[in-house]
Amino acid sequence: MALHSADIARFSWGALRGYPTRTVLMLVAMAIGVSAVVVLTSLGEGARLYVMDKFASLGTNLIIVIPGRSETAGINPSTMMGETPRDLTLDDALALTRSYKVRRISPINVGSARVTHAGRARDTVILGTSAEMLAIRHWELAQGKFIPKMDLDRATSVAVIGKKIRDELFGAERAIGKWLRIGDRRFRVIGIMGSEGRSIGVDVQEIVMIPVASAQQLFNTSSVFRILVEAKTREAIEPVKQFIIDTLQKRHQGKKDVTVITQDAVLATFDRILGALTYAVGGIAAISLAVAGILIMNVMLVAVSQRTAEIGLLKALGASPRHIITLILAEAFLLSSLGAIAGYLLGQLGSWIIRYAFPVLPAYAPAWAVLISLLVAIVTGLLFSLMPARRAARLDPVQALSRR
Amino acid sequence: MIELTHIHRNFQVGDQVVHALDDVTLNIAAGEYVSIMGPSGSGKSTLLNLLGLLDRPTSGTYRLNGRDVTSLSDIEQARVRNHEIGFVFQMFHLVPRLTAEENVELPLMLAGMPVEERRKKVASALKDLGLEARSHHRPEQLSGGQRQRVAIARATVTEPRVLLADEPTGNLDHKSGEDVIHILEQLNQRGITLIIVTHDLEMGQRAKRQLRMLDGRLHSDHSDGQPAELDHGAS
Ligand SMILES: Nc1ncnc2c1ncn2[C@@H]1O[C@H](COP(=O)(O)OP(=O)(O)O)[C@@H](O)[C@H]1O
Ligand SMILES: [Mg+2]
């Protein structure tokens, strides 16, 4: 004697409708639990994506070469002997292009200088760089052109200026094509950097960029401050890192005197921390969901004792213990699924509100969190109804029927 | 068809043992009309519950249609209850949220019968009891007599061979009670074995065979008005 599933569903649905207070109570408990998971994880995930995005805007698959060994900085024999670490040069940078795993490189020089035009002046950061920088940092020009592709050691007198610099020096006047003075040299403005404001550290609107060789002349140096290297793929980062170390060691007479950092490492740390945070809040919410299970158990126990006579009757009519367990669990399943769905919708509404209130946060609950919360809700609903269901199945029909 | 031999049913109440049934031996043939009478607490309901497999004896054997049913598993007993036995209770025991039709359908649903077949059986059971017009009413919308008729429809829709009724008129006024008894007797005339527990003497005497219980024992067993006193003192 097997019950038809349509009958099970109809009977359980009828039972739920027959006791609306109990049903609503359980639905609310479930819905709160599930929506808590959805909202909290969407918040955590939103924060993670926000930070990741900020970092990603520094550049993808980016490797930064810094002169000097940072790990052994304090006790480096060369520093002890009063030597300064060997500088990075443009030739070093050029040598780093000789791997097919390297997509592009850009050496940079940084300094500060006075920029003047038509009597107006301000001190600002000067960034010596190359044409590739635009692509490496995912920058976009507001107007004009960027530093043209050319040999790294060519010092042409062109400058790309930030929007704020333009506003301060040129006002409403058209800046492209005009000359300005940086220190004692003249440069022609060829491009304006807009506000995409996504970059951490530098505000491109407030700097002036010139070719790296020009910057070397300006600051009277033959070295470069950093070399930025972009690997072709994420997998290429490690081999490229090794390639950089080997190449520069060869070029520096066998000395390992550079530090290579990947922003991937930094990114990974943040990713881990924020990911863990999301898991943690999701976990806590899921636990609270499991606690809702205890409420479910109690409510189901009440349901069973409320319906003692009905269960006794079903037994008298030929329901086996298995039938009774099936019917009670079906009821719990229906209840927790409906609660879970309601909670899911509520949670989506919640994260929508978060996104509406904080547009920078991409607060979408991750799929795993949604899946787990639905699963936990349904499984706890069933698990915690097992005991009441068993109790119902064991009810003595004679006593169940004689009770009033 | 029903053979009880040396049935005992003891209840442990605190540290006292209550002998609700004390060595009951009884045979009932198919198609009989039996009433069970006796004072309150004499074991009538306990006996009926045992007959209906709602309860198991402490000792003794119960054979139903030649098969020993005392040793069956819960699942097998449930099947026997579903197929071979119909119950009518004093309290009707209709499920309040279900309509008359749905209440009658319950045993067929538990049997896993296909929907169309069920519909037909339910409709004809309700029709037999003059309840066609009430099939979509819920119990609260029905009178006591109508409720008991729905309960009878439910008990008979599976076409059981035995109908067990525990004080079926106990909660009804005289007129409805009479109606219900008439219905039950009609069913008996069509072949069903009918066993009614009652403490209404007049009602009990309508049965062709009348059992009297006293202190858990079968005190007397009249058939067709001819007393056949049981011998107690001997054992
Ligand atoms: N579940 C039970 N637990 C303890 N005693 C019971 C139980 N069921 C019945 N009894 C006792 O068994 C005896 C017979 O009960 P019952 O069959 O209900 O009597 P009747 O139906 O004739 O009034 C009574 O003394 C009653 O108290
Ligand atoms: Mg009784």
A18–chain B nearest CA distance, Å:
6
From the centroid of its chain, how far is CA A330? 40
**Is residue B41 lining ligand 1, measured as CB closer than 6 Å?**
yes
Of A44-58, A195-209, A307-321, the poorest mean pLDDT is in A195-209
Residue listed under structure tokens 């033959």: A222
Token readout for A303 is: 């349901």
**Is residue B147 lining ligand 1, measured as CB closer than 6 Å?**
no
Helical residues (DSSP H) of A87-236, grouped into ranges: 90-95, 133-136, 163-170, 212-218
- Taking an 8 Å cut-off on Cβ atoms, the answer to whether B75 and A322 are in contact is yes
Tell whether the model's pLDDT for residue A270 goes beyond 90.
Answer: no
Banded model confidence at residue A289, pLDDT cuts 50, 70, 90: confident
Banded model confidence at residue A201, pLDDT cuts 50, 70, 90: low
Calculate the alpha carbon distances from A338 to A297, A343, A371, B68, B134 in Å: 17, 8, 15, 46, 33
Tell whether the model's pLDDT for residue A77 goes beyond 50.
Answer: no
Nearest to A108 by CA among A201, A213, A229, A227: A227
Cβ-contact A163, A170 below 8 angstroms? no
pLDDT for residue A72 = 45
Tell whether the model's pLDDT for residue B123 goes beyond 70.
Answer: yes
Is A398 an interface residue toward B (CB < 8 Å)? yes
Asked whether the whole model's pTM tops 0.90, one would answer no
Chain B residues within 8 A of A394 when measuring between CB atoms:
none
CB nearest to A2's CB, from B49, B95, B112: B112
**Is residue B20 lining ligand 1, measured as CB closer than 6 Å?**
yes
Overall average pLDDT of the A187-208 stretch: 77
CA distance A301 to A315: 18
B47–chain A nearest CA distance, Å:
11
List of residues 6+ apart from B52 with CB closer than 8 A? A316, B81, B85, B87, B164
Find the farthest-apart pair of alpha carbons in chain A and give their distance in angstroms, rounded: 106
Q: Give the ligand with the smallest distance to the CA of B18.
A: 1
Question: Which protein residues have a CB closer than 5 Å to ligand 2 (ion)?
Answer: B 45
pLDDT for residue A75 = 44
pLDDT one-digit tens code per residue, A356-366: 998 888 889 88
Q: Residue of the nearest CA to atom 26 in ligand 1?
A: B41
How far, in Å, from the CA of B43 to the mean position of ligand 1? 6
Which of B91, B95, B119 has the most A C-beta neighbours within 10 Å, making it the best mutation to test the interface with A?
B95
Among positive and negative, which fits the CA dihedral B206, B208, B214, B215? negative
Which of A313, A314, A396 has the most B C-beta neighbours within 10 Å, making it the best mutation to test the interface with B?
A313
CA distance A37 to A195: 37
Give me the helix-helix angle, A5-18 and A20-56, nearest 10°: 100
Banded model confidence at residue A85, pLDDT cuts 50, 70, 90: low
pLDDT for residue A55 = 72
Banded model confidence at residue B234, pLDDT cuts 50, 70, 90: very low
Is A320 an interface residue toward B (CB < 8 Å)? yes
Report which ligand 1 atom has the smallest distance to the Cα of B197.
21
- Taking an 8 Å cut-off on Cβ atoms, the answer to whether A1 and B78 are in contact is yes
Cβ-contact A305, A395 below 8 angstroms? no
More confident residue, A266 or B85: B85
pLDDT for residue B233 = 42
Residue listed under structure tokens 């810094």: A66
- Taking an 8 Å cut-off on Cβ atoms, the answer to whether A320 and B109 are in contact is no
Q: Roughly how many angstroms between the first and final C-alpha of chain B, as a whole number? A: 26
pLDDT cut 70: percent of chain A above it: 92
Average pLDDT in chain B = 92
pLDDT for residue A258 = 87
Banded model confidence at residue A79, pLDDT cuts 50, 70, 90: very low
Indicate the burial class of A340 (C-beta count within 10 angstroms; 0-12, 13-18, 19 or more). buried
- Taking an 8 Å cut-off on Cβ atoms, the answer to whether A313 and B54 are in contact is no
- Taking an 8 Å cut-off on Cβ atoms, the answer to whether A318 and B87 are in contact is no
Is A13 an interface residue toward B (CB < 8 Å)? no
Token readout for B81 is: 């209850």
Of A7-11, A124-128, A286-290, A336-340, the poorest mean pLDDT is in A286-290
Nearest to B150 by CA among B132, B164, B166: B132
Is A173 an interface residue toward B (CB < 8 Å)? no
Report which ligand 1 atom has the smallest distance to the Cα of B213.
22
Tell whether the model's pLDDT for residue A195 goes beyond 80.
Answer: no
User: Which residues of B touch chain A, with CB atoms under 8 Å apart?
Assistant: 45, 49, 52, 54-55, 74-75, 78-79, 81-83, 87, 89, 91, 93, 95-98, 102, 106-107, 109-112, 115, 154, 158
Banded model confidence at residue B227, pLDDT cuts 50, 70, 90: low
pLDDT for residue B229 = 55
pLDDT for residue A369 = 86
Tell whether the model's pLDDT for residue A84 goes beyond 70.
Answer: no
Banded model confidence at residue A139, pLDDT cuts 50, 70, 90: confident
pLDDT one-digit tens code per residue, A13-68: 998 898 898 889 888 888 988 898 889 889 888 888 888 777 766 677 888 898 88
Overall average pLDDT of the A223-248 stretch: 90
Banded model confidence at residue A302, pLDDT cuts 50, 70, 90: confident
**Is residue B18 lining ligand 1, measured as CB closer than 6 Å?**
yes
Tell whether the model's pLDDT for residue A263 goes beyond 80.
Answer: no
pLDDT one-digit tens code per residue, A347-390: 999 999 999 998 888 889 888 888 988 888 888 888 888 988 99
Tell whether the model's pLDDT for residue A76 goes beyond 50.
Answer: no
Which of B13, B93, B102 has the most A C-beta neighbours within 10 Å, making it the best mutation to test the interface with A?
B93
Number of H helices, E strands in chain B: 7, 10
Half-sphere exposure of A116 (CA within 13 A, CB side): 10
- Please state the three-class secondary structure of A170-191 as a single string: HCCCCCCCCEEEECCEEEEEEE
Chain A residues within 8 A of B72 when measuring between CB atoms:
none
Banded model confidence at residue B97, pLDDT cuts 50, 70, 90: very high
Average pLDDT in chain A = 86
Cβ-contact A42, A370 below 8 angstroms? no
More confident residue, B97 or A72: B97
Boundaries of every domain in chain A:
5-54+268-401, 86-256
- Taking an 8 Å cut-off on Cβ atoms, the answer to whether B91 and A404 are in contact is yes
* CATH code for the domain defined by B2-223: 3.40.50.300
- Taking an 8 Å cut-off on Cβ atoms, the answer to whether B78 and A319 are in contact is yes
Exposed e or buried b for every residue in B60-70, given b needs 16+ CB within 10 A?
Answer: bebebeeeebb
Overall average pLDDT of the A214-241 stretch: 90
**Is residue B42 lining ligand 1, measured as CB closer than 6 Å?**
yes
Tell whether the model's pLDDT for residue A81 goes beyond 60.
Answer: no
How far, in Å, from the CA of B219 to the mean position of ligand 1? 17
DSSP secondary structure letter of residue B229: B
Boundaries of every domain in chain B:
2-223
Cβ-contact A316, B81 below 8 angstroms? yes
- Taking an 8 Å cut-off on Cβ atoms, the answer to whether A15 and B97 are in contact is yes
Chain B residues within 8 A of A22 when measuring between CB atoms:
none
pLDDT one-digit tens code per residue, B141-154: 999 999 999 999 99
**Is residue B13 lining ligand 1, measured as CB closer than 6 Å?**
yes
- Taking an 8 Å cut-off on Cβ atoms, the answer to whether A14 and B96 are in contact is no
Residue listed under structure tokens 């409720």: B147
Of A62-76, A312-326, B168-182, the poorest mean pLDDT is in A62-76
Q: Residue of the nearest CA to atom 16 in ligand 1?
A: B43
